[in-house]
Structure 1
């Protein structure tokens, strides 16, 4: 996942310290092969609380590196993730738009990590079915994927995802079903 540096800054606390957890602002900068991305997230935390997710321990596979995959935000308990991608010129079709197969791969690489983060790295989710709706053409540049676990069953997860461009235009949406496999077995 690259090197992550964290910078914590205190926010003013208006109630007595003994009764309130310290509010802090977490700012992380993630160095990825595709460049630097800043991530800012505010939440209540104790001084000893750690903000890492299971995804921090898993190196990105070659397909994710090819797509310029990087985590922008994640809410593990909600099964939600926001991922950035670099849609490169090499991904274009003859009309100059990003070929749909690359967009589908980006959506797949958005939804699966939502399961991994939500299950704290216990479950890996190979896709068994995915439906993609291509809504607008995408030009090369930065794209943002949002993935969400709709339902997590005992052996199957139901997922949804969306992909937008830098202007916020919805490029594609997807729904998927994924098999749930113990990560220790799948990633061994």
Structure 2
């Protein structure tokens, strides 16, 4: 995955997870951590990876479940922010070839998302770095209308190689 040509496009959830597992085999894992791919948070949020372009972007889809809605059946914004964060994390980890952690996440909501709607989220590398990586993301509804954007700065954690 990390050695792929920049114009390589990997499609499909299972294929992307398979590529991530292969890439993560070469990445430093902090002591005492058992790697689970996709992570429990990705599974809980219902994200399904759709397309990965190494060093460039990662896309996923999600159908908004009832438990993420407010009293009016509108997606509670914190869940969408978590989805953005959960999509940016693997992209940053694989791009930097080290673990990362969010330092900042800013989300802007443009229009409501209703329970049952299907969203497509795409995270794109804006500036890779050795200590910080910057990523932007967008979420579109089934009518391809922009519903939210996010930007994040993620700290690259240098894990000593054992």
C-alpha spacing 1:71/1:86, structure 2 compared with 1 (3 Å): same
Moved over 2 A (4+): 26-31, 52-58, 116-119, 182-185
1:84 is aligned, of 61, 73, 78, to 61
Q: Size of the alignment, in residue pairs? A: 139
Q: CA deviation at 1:135?
A: 0.4
Name 1:162's counterpart in structure 2: 138
Unaligned segments of structure 1, at least 5 residues: 1-25, 32-37, 40-51
Inter-partner Cα distance in structure 2 for 1:184 and 1:81? 27
Secondary structure at the counterpart of residue 168 of structure 1: coil
Residue 28 to residue 174, structure 1, CA distance change in 2 (3 Å): closer
State the Cα RMSD in Å: 2.6
Larger radius of gyration: 1
When the two structures are superposed, what TM-score results if normalisation uses the length of structure 1? 0.65
**Whole-Å separation in 1 of the counterparts to 2:44 and 2:103:** 22
Tell me: higher relative CO, structure 1 or 2? Use CA pairs within 8 A at least 6 residues apart: 2
Comparing both structures, which one devotes a greater share of its residues to strand?
A: 1
Superposition deviation, residue 144 in structure 1: 1.1
TM-score, structure 2 normalization:
0.74
Cα distance change of structure 1 residues 182 and 159 upon mapping to structure 2, 3 Å threshold: same
